[in-house]
A and B are shown apart, each in its own frame.
Chain A
Amino acid sequence: QVQLQESGPGLVKPSETLSLTCAVSGYSISSGYYWGWIRQPPGKGLEWIGSIYHSGSTYYNPSLKSRVTISVDTSKNQFSLKLSSVTAADTAVYYCARRPYGDPPSGYFDYWGQGTLVTVSS
């Protein structure tokens, strides 16, 4: 059974960098698939942030591209998100998820983490 678990600080100060990690169990990232991040501001809809392949190739949402870095660590079977220069607008539940393919056209997200709330506040 594939499981994903997000971890990281729940509170980040404005202008600082948000850093989250997604630990994957039940499946080896090196075996394939794309791995992505999606966020959901409180009470709002879903926004795709970006995706990464085990080789390290990435796709980012253009609206966030200048501030986002997604990386993968196959030795630890995890991948990470960094979002720089955060503001209150970045307050959201952040989900990590798996998708069978990510080169456009992109596949569905079949397994999701439980999500982690990150609040941007001083």
Chain B
Amino acid sequence: DIVMTQTPLSLSVTPGQPASISCKSSQSLLHSDGKTYLYWYLQKPGQSPQLLIYEVSSRFSGVPDRFSGSGSGTDFTLKISRVEAEDVGVYYCMQGIHLPDTFGGGTKVEIK
């Protein structure tokens, strides 16, 4: 199975400040079709996960542009340009290039 490793485990951020989360995969997520199958989700407290980013850097419908994704191969980053109170929760990366789909362990973001 592909292992997804997220750092840090937790972040405490002042509103309006940026935040960055790293996700590293044990194998390249670049497929021969040219796409990279890396996704980011946010699970707000008491809710189900919601899709933020697909294929490394494409924002899902309705996702604010303060969220951005970057990276390639095995190293990926989710950035929040200016954290807002509604951004608290646990962020997960997920790979879809090889079965079984696997998720990172999660990064908890809270507000200072």
Q: How many residues from B make CB contacts under 8 Å with A?
A: 26
* B103 engages A46 (CB within 8 Å): yes
Hey, what's the 0/1 contact readout for A97-122 against B, CB within 8 Å counting as 1? Answer: 00000001111111011110000000
Among candidates A46, A59, A109, residue contacting B99 with C-beta atoms closer than 8 Å: A59
Asked if B49 is at the interface (CB within 8 A of a chain A CB), the reply is: yes
- B64 close to chain A: CB less than 8 A: no
Q: Please tell me if the beta carbons of B103 and A45 are within 8 angstroms of each other in the complex.
A: yes
Q: A108-B39, A112-B49, A114-B48 are in contact. Are A48 and B102 (CB under 8 A)?
A: yes
**Could you say which residues of chain A place their CB within 8 Å of the CB of B66?**
none
Mostly, the A contact residues are: loop
Given contacts A45-B92, A105-B33, A114-B47, 11 further A-B contacts (CB under 8 A): A46-B49, A48-B102, A104-B97, A104-B98, A105-B96, A105-B97, A106-B101, A107-B54, A108-B51, A108-B96, A110-B51
Nearest CB in chain A: distance from B112 CB, A: 23
Q: Which residues of B contact A105 (CB under 8 A)?
A: 31, 33, 35, 37, 96-98
Most buried by B among A48, A95, A113: A48
A47 to B104, CA, bound (A): 10
